[in-house]
A and B are shown apart, each in its own frame.
Chain A
């Protein structure tokens, strides 16, 4: 277990925003994120008054609902040094759209808070590498891992080299997909509203993945992971799907996403 330079300086406080999808679907990934941040030397707080960043309503064009949903967030994450999010898309919402969301709300206090949150929000793996200087994660794996960049990670948060560097340092054989920068088709409510288009896109992604014959498909966004795992599962694929936090943390007690429940640990072979 490595800690960053243990000096007498005050520890960085990180507010962990687990995101609604991790909260609902895969709390174990949230716990993995928590452990990673502590390992990196952060003091982590997990404000109880967190739920949603407002993105589903924001993207649907329902500004009022989005503001309502995101309002508790403003107070909850007021005091930490950083807001760290195990999701490129929620991080993108906070870093790039929260200010717009409260613009025109007439609430200058909320606007100030939104501004401050936007400035201190980071996606998890880029935070570990770029801010905390993590070089080697606690997890170890020899697996062949196909890494999927979520569109928000790639285009809004400039995250792509960092998770790969950490996975490689963990011992993984990281492979890139042929159409690495093509959307998997999740897109939030798009995945249900336009299910046939979304499903087709997820199928293209699944075929790309299977073509690389990896042990695992790993990504930093729960929405993409559910979408890709859902299609791989329907195709009868044996590729394991996990959140990048789980692999870097190394514990991996939970079965893979969409994987059957009774398998022991689900940890890949060393």
Chain B
């Protein structure tokens, strides 16, 4: 998928003026934050499970080759196929080849962020293969020609009226006077529209929340059941998964499953958790005839050997998005790519290149809420700071910042001079502010003063007062 992260500032400016987006974000956060808190409070062993899950991930990241090889052997033993793709172009081509091999014309899709990464829908479409999203949120944004704005709730940036509007335009064959004013009526409408499409599809493409080496199984976790309809009713099931989804055993999956739904939506368990282990067996009455797993690297192995390694622990729960005050202010599209919120601030530059996403690691106040709620305790602020360090080293930062920091540190490293300069400057500013006590504007502070007054300094610096009080006491 093309990135628009370079237009971050413009996107943010637009997002902040967007009242509908604001309303939608407010609904998201006010629903999901208390739900997560309540689910976590309801499981006394939550922190121990986190520790255990982190240990599983760190071990797995140290043995990726072993576990991926074991996974492959087991998929093949189950009658399935594994395809290795070093980059996104290879992945797209592989999937296209599979479709051609199986005479696939129509595809149903379960929600998969990695397929968004690949820009798969547009690619297949350009080759005459029609992909149909079935997850309700993905279905909605596909109709609108938009990209997902959240990794598990793709249409979260939309309010109900906007969705109704989209359905009105796209489902023109339905009665114009039908009820469309509730979430229930819109969900029902999507259900009916998609019902027959599952069986009519030649291939079902899903992602994988996890891949289990022990059994050669891929796991999807959903609430809607669309991922299961997608993979069961089509003739071919294609799973697209990035490398770091691999975990050693089924019991390991159990640890992550206890963490995932709680962190995401506050459920103890999602409605459907499905292990898929190959094509239909002899005697099965349903299921796909062929099972293909497309394994995608696309930058993960590079992260494995680098300073962003800890990011590979991510289980894509979205807790960081749901709790981030920056995400809540600007929504997901402003980040310009598939992965938004705090995890996107690290993952997007890591995968698309820091030069294409210069603002992302910087647009954070480092409040640390993301790290606090992350089930894998990923040190997101530290990882963002690492990227800022890289930017400094690669001279990607603005000359203004470099000069200001140089001046500041030169001054701060000479305390006597520092006291003199700051003492004098604050006195001047205090004088300028006069009675008001604030500045409405000052040079270099436009970013601040657009929405806030700038308090005036008391003037003179601390040591002037301290020395004076010492003299008094003596």
**Residues in chain A within 8 A of chain B (CB atoms):** 18, 20, 22-28, 30-31, 34, 46, 48-52, 54, 56-66, 68-72, 76, 151-152, 155-156, 181-183, 185-204, 226-227, 229-231, 233-234, 254-255, 257-262
B208-216, B265-273, B408-416 - interface stretch: B408-416
Known: A49-B415, A187-B364, A200-B329. A60 touches B451 (CB 8 A): no
B254-262, B283-291, B383-391 - interface stretch: B383-391
Known: A59-B385, A196-B450, A234-B452. A26 touches B457 (CB 8 A): yes
Contact: B448 with A24, CB < 8 Å?
A: no
Contact: A261 with B447, CB < 8 Å?
A: no
Q: A183 — which chain B residues lie within 8 A by C-beta?
A: 325, 365, 367, 369
Known: A68-B412, A201-B326. A61 touches B452 (CB 8 A): no
- In the complex, 26 of the A-B residue pairs with CB atoms within 8 angstroms, ordered by the A residue number, are A22-B462, A25-B455, A27-B465, A30-B465, A30-B466, A31-B469, A46-B466, A49-B415, A51-B411, A52-B412, A54-B409, A61-B385, A61-B392, A62-B402, A62-B409, A68-B409, A68-B412, A69-B408, A185-B365, A194-B447, A196-B12, A196-B447, A201-B325, A230-B448, A234-B451, A258-B455
Interface size on B, residues (CB 8 A): 72
Q: B371 — which chain A residues lie within 8 A by C-beta?
A: 155
> Closest CB of chain A to B413's CB: distance in Å?
5
Contact: A61 with B458, CB < 8 Å?
A: no
Q: B329 — which chain A residues lie within 8 A by C-beta?
A: 197, 200-201, 204
Interface presence of B362 (CB below 8 A): yes
Of the candidates B330, B411, B463, B465, the one whose C-beta lies within 8 Å of that of A48 is B463
Extra 14 A-B pairs, beta carbons < 8 Å, given A61-B392, A65-B405: A25-B426, A27-B458, A27-B461, A31-B462, A31-B466, A60-B388, A63-B389, A68-B412, A72-B412, A155-B371, A197-B329, A202-B452, A226-B455, A233-B453
Contact: A199 with B415, CB < 8 Å?
A: no
Known: A31-B465, A195-B448, A196-B13. A151 touches B453 (CB 8 A): no
Interface presence of B446 (CB below 8 A): yes
A258 and B398 alpha carbons, distance in the complex (Å) = 31
A230 and B455 alpha carbons, distance in the complex (Å) = 6
> Closest CB of chain B to A57's CB: distance in Å?
5
Of the candidates A24, A26, A68, A234, the one whose C-beta lies within 8 Å of that of B413 is A68
Interface string of B393-405 (1 = CB under 8 A from A): 0000100011001
Q: Which residue of B lies closest to A182 (CB)?
A: B325
Known: A46-B466, A181-B369, A257-B455. A194 touches B409 (CB 8 A): no
A110 and B376 alpha carbons, distance in the complex (Å) = 33
> Closest CB of chain A to B161's CB: distance in Å?
23
Contact: B367 with A187, CB < 8 Å?
A: yes
- Please report which residues of chain B, range 412-455, place their CB below 8 angstroms from some CB of chain A when the two chains form the complex: 412-416, 418-419, 422, 426, 433-438, 444-448, 450-455
Q: Which residue of A lies closest to B381 (CB)?
A: A59
> Closest CB of chain A to B233's CB: distance in Å?
44
Find the residue from A20, A187, A198, A201 having the highest chain B CB count within 10 A. A198
Q: B389 — which chain A residues lie within 8 A by C-beta?
A: 61-63
Q: Which residue of B lies closest to A22 (CB)?
A: B462
Q: Which residue of A lies closest to B410 (CB)?
A: A68
Of the candidates B448, B453, B461, the one whose C-beta lies within 8 Å of that of A258 is B453
Interface presence of B297 (CB below 8 A): no
A34 and B438 alpha carbons, distance in the complex (Å) = 26
Interface presence of B89 (CB below 8 A): no
Q: A189 — which chain B residues lie within 8 A by C-beta?
A: 401
> Closest CB of chain B to A37's CB: distance in Å?
13
